[in-house]
Amino acid sequence: MEGLWGSVELYFPVAMAPQGRACHENPAMAKKPALKKVDADSAMPDLSERADGPALIALWGADEAGHEFRLGTREYDWHSHLRGQVFCVESGLVHVRTAHGSWLLPPHRAGWLPPGEAHKVSISGAMSGWSVLIAPQASQDLPERPCVIGISELMRALVRRAVAWTGQDQLDAGQERMTVVLLDEMRRAPHEPRHLPMPTDRRLLRIATAIYKQPDSPRTLGEWAHWAGLSPRTLSRLFLAETTMSFARWRQQARLVHALERLARGEAVADIADALGYATPSNFIAMFRRSFGDSPGRYFAQRGGLRQ
């Protein structure tokens, strides 16, 4: 991003990289946090890069320009943070990509990104939510890899309390105790299966990428194997070994990724079913219900309903 404010250019790193940058497909390129232009009077340090201060810094998100944890509908290029990050949206959907694969964050679930984890983020229709930035030392008891966790009422209430002391350099005894309880709630939170692991074998990765880009493709396992130059048996064996999912399960999970993103944008269920290659909307709804325990309409009820 380029531009001048008077005679000098001012930038500061933000908790998520700015909208509109060119996307790189290699997370290794995210060695430094992205920079966002601000005016001289509003410049502030990026809290996600703060090495000192409280072990835990909480932010409440909003779709407002210049907001430290900006939501709405936008994409953020590959970037990373010094601090670990737990974040949650109360509407819409977040799609996070890392070197370990892709995972989804629907409303009222929290995503965990360890310190230094390169990631790329797409947000769809998220108008409110929160983020907790955790110092590397305080992150040691949290998972080593990104994941989606369930949130409790206690966790959410503690985050709201923690937002009130975000500007403090030091916490009092009561705040320190609440920080310990909140970190323990995050550590004990149940993990949820929203992950789409990516294989590392170049032939499998070629297949996985093609399926993700063409979720409605009618190709069979055998046809995909022939396309990539390996036998169906080898494809099945390697896919299970590298992703811990069967080929059929992985393809269904990839379709679910697309389905949740489209539902979050308010697309009609019938249109989504057709785009994902289902013969009828009923088939798509049945698959969705098996995976999430509810129909698409009820799953996103808090967003004001979906067109059928």
DSSP letter for each residue of 48-117: GG--SS-SEEEEEEES-TT-TTB-EEEEEEEE--SSEEEEEESSSEEEEEETTEEEEE-TTEEEEE-TT-
Yes or no: say if 85 and 48 are a contact pair by the CB < 8 Å rule.
yes
Query: Could you give the number of structural domains in the chain?
Result: 2
pLDDT of residue 233: 96
Yes or no: say if 77 and 34 are a contact pair by the CB < 8 Å rule.
yes
Cα 64 from Cα 76, distance rounded (Å): 15
Asked, for residue 146, whether it belongs to a domain, the answer is yes
Answer yes or no: do 156 and 283 share one domain: no
pLDDT of 22 strictly over 60: no
Pairwise pLDDT comparison (32 vs 174), residue with the higher score: 174
Cα 296 from Cα 303, distance rounded (Å): 11
Asked, for residue 47, whether it belongs to a domain, the answer is yes
Model pLDDT for residues 197-234, shown as the tens digit of each residue: 888 788 998 999 899 889 999 999 999 999 999 999 99
Residue ending a domain, among 192, 220, 243, is 192
Looking up residue 55, the CATH number of its domain turns out to be 2.60.120.280
Q: b/e map of 271-290 (b: 16 or more CB within 10 Å)?
A: ebbebbebeebeebbebbee
Mean pLDDT: which of 18-27, 257-266, 279-288 is highest? 279-288
Residue ending a domain, among 136, 165, 192, is 192
Asked, for residue 253, whether it belongs to a domain, the answer is yes
Please state, rounded to an integer, the average pLDDT across all residues of the chain. 80
Asked, for residue 1, whether it belongs to a domain, the answer is no
Answer yes or no: do 156 and 203 share one domain: no
Asked, for residue 287, whether it belongs to a domain, the answer is yes
pLDDT of 14 strictly over 90: no
Answer yes or no: do 29 and 155 share one domain: yes
Cα 238 from Cα 175, distance rounded (Å): 49
**Mean pLDDT, range 161-177, rounded to an integer:** 92
Pairwise pLDDT comparison (69 vs 84), residue with the higher score: 84
Q: How far is CA 139 from CA 43, 72, 183, 232, in A?
A: 28, 28, 9, 42
pLDDT of 61 strictly over 50: yes
pLDDT of 38 strictly over 60: no
Residue labelled with tokens 């974040």: 87
The confidence band for 299, taking pLDDT boundaries of 50, 70 and 90, is confident
Answer yes or no: do 149 and 209 share one domain: no
Answer yes or no: do 47 and 152 share one domain: yes
DSSP 159-198: HHHHHTTTT-SS--HHHHHHHHHHHHHHHHSPEE--EEE-
pLDDT of 96 strictly over 70: yes
The confidence band for 12, taking pLDDT boundaries of 50, 70 and 90, is very low
pTM, full prediction: 0.65
Answer yes or no: do 49 and 176 share one domain: yes
pLDDT of residue 67: 66
Asked, for residue 6, whether it belongs to a domain, the answer is no
Answer yes or no: do 162 and 51 share one domain: yes
Cα 133 from Cα 190, distance rounded (Å): 20
Pairwise pLDDT comparison (22 vs 73), residue with the higher score: 73
pLDDT of 25 strictly over 60: no
Answer yes or no: do 88 and 134 share one domain: yes
Model pLDDT for residues 236-278, shown as the tens digit of each residue: 999 999 888 999 999 998 898 888 878 877 889 999 999 999 9
Range of the domain at 169: 11-192
Task: Specify burial of residue 83 (Cβ count, 10 A radius: 0-12, 13-18, 19+).
Answer: buried
CB neighbour list of residue 32: distance below 8 Å, 6 or more residues apart:
13
Asked, for residue 5, whether it belongs to a domain, the answer is no
Task: Specify burial of residue 41 (Cβ count, 10 A radius: 0-12, 13-18, 19+).
Answer: exposed
The confidence band for 174, taking pLDDT boundaries of 50, 70 and 90, is very high
Asked, for residue 308, whether it belongs to a domain, the answer is no
pLDDT of 33 strictly over 60: no
Yes or no: say if 107 and 143 are a contact pair by the CB < 8 Å rule.
no
Residue ending a domain, among 167, 192, 217, is 192
Answer yes or no: do 78 and 132 share one domain: yes
Cα 48 from Cα 33, distance rounded (Å): 9
pLDDT of residue 45: 61
Answer yes or no: do 77 and 93 share one domain: yes
